[in-house]
A = this chain, B = another copy of it.
């Protein structure tokens, strides 16, 4: 089987071994549109009897985070979640109802950040913008005023 899965490909390209557990985790992640937590993945893995231990699951997530294939997200609730994502610098727009995640380009934000750097005198090395709201779908369900 050729690795049609981009996550598996990223692992291979970075020189990591393409092991069964890693493929399994990659497969699970590929199914998510929105964010997922480590606990959710663990349950999903257990249900399908993928035989991935918790330690391995966390190791895989750590690895994938390092490769920028998934990104770690801090929800307003304080929970940690992960989102599968593209590798370029970008931000996340998270639906607070259904969890769906949209990627947002840096766009106008880069200018705002440059402006902040100028005014503050800081040399800005990185920034992270997290946006929370309702996606179109959930707005429709919730009604226009809710």
Contact surface of A with B, Cβ cutoff 8 Å: 72, 74, 76, 78, 80, 93, 95-96, 102, 104, 107-109, 111-113, 115-117, 120-136, 139
Contact = CB atoms under 8 A, between A and B. Distances in A.
Contacts of A122: 93, 95, 102, 131, 133-136
B139 A133 contact: no
Contact of A121 (B74, B108, B115, B136): B136
Contacts of A95: 122
A101 to B, nearest CB: 10
A107 B113 contact: no
A28 to B, nearest CB: 22
A125 B120 contact: no
